Amino acid sequence: MQIRFVIPVILLVASSLAHAQSAPAGKTPEQLAAELKWLKPGEVGRIADKAEFHVKEGYTFLDNKDTDTFLKLNGNLPPGNAYTIASEKNRWFGVLSFTDDGYIKDDEKIDADALLKTLKERNVAGNEEKRKQGVPTLTLEGWSFPPRYDTETKRLEWGTRLRAQDNNQEVVNVSTKILGRSGYTNAVLVTEPATMERDMADFKVALKNFDYVSGEKYSEWKQGDKVAAFGLGALVLGGAAAVATSKGGFKMVFLAIAAGAAALWGGFKKFFGRK
């Protein structure tokens, strides 16, 4: 069996907007995006009936249906189970999705060097597949910062540096995994390398408004609940998908969120001030 290894990536390439979903006559993608139901401060966004995002001043939220539309407007294939949080003051947004792989034990020591080696091997294989599909490649160059786990918040985060083939632009991917009782929430920051540090700090502030609902918190795990067949290290590699692929079980799937998305967000957020 031929196995295709694929790494989820945030592709920050401004040219991607040229491939965005066609807008009706008289309306720009920015205007269409501004017409989506962005939640206002005081409202609560539900994430897969597992978690909530309490919208505070300066931030907003889209449900999964409007997130699909938003991602299409940015030239992306919507995963169908994603939600959007965004800053109204800075040029970033985050894509959140819940995976019910079970309770993940967090007692594993993370070997960043070994993980990077595996990620680079999969990056090579993933780029081969991209070339076959005529998609620009991204070369993994190293960590922006290595995986680190916060035992209090039960959050695992890391950043990678990649190089885009078509314009030689450096791309920064920042991923956060938030552990819960029955799985984890994947939170991916979409931003630009030049503002990554500032936006990462703002992203963390926004995620303080995220929490699992009662009965789904990590601390509420009970004997007999489903336990994931992998630990923190495999979570960096893709969770259950990485485990199954390593055993020849199934193919992993491309997730490419175009970075023109950050540019689009910066373009249409001015519309909020007019409402």
Backbone φ and ψ of 63, nearest 5°: -75, 180
The answer to the question of residue 4 being in a domain is no
* DSSP string for 193-207: GGGHHHHHHHHHHHH
The answer to the question of residue 267 being in a domain is yes
Tell me: pLDDT of 206 over 90. Answer: yes
The answer to the question of residue 102 being in a domain is yes
Return the structure tokens found at 76. Answer: 């992306």
The answer to the question of residue 2 being in a domain is no
The answer to the question of residue 92 being in a domain is yes
List pLDDT tens digits, range 108-161.
Answer: 999 999 999 999 998 888 888 878 878 778 888 999 899 999 999 999 999 888
Looking at residue 212, its pLDDT comes to 98
Extract long-range pairs of 162-165: CB within 8 Å, 24+ residues apart. Answer: 162/9, 162/123, 162/138, 163/138, 163/139, 164/11, 164/12, 164/13, 164/136, 164/137, 164/138, 165/136, 165/137, 165/138, 165/139
Range of the domain at 206: 9-274
Which region among 56-65, 85-94, 222-231 has the lowest average model confidence (pLDDT)? 85-94
SS3 244: helix
The answer to the question of residue 1 being in a domain is no
Looking at residue 264, its pLDDT comes to 54
Burial of 16 (0-12, 13-18, 19+ CB in 10 A): buried
The answer to the question of residue 87 being in a domain is yes
The answer to the question of residue 150 being in a domain is yes
Count: domains in the chain: 1
List pLDDT tens digits, range 32-80.
Answer: 888 899 999 999 999 999 999 999 999 999 999 999 998 888 766 677 8
- Burial string for 111-142 (b: 16+ CB within 10 Å, else e) reads eeeebbebbeebbeebbeebeeeebbbbebee
Mean predicted lDDT score pLDDT of the chain: 80
Angstrom distance (rounded) from CA 245 to CA 15: 32
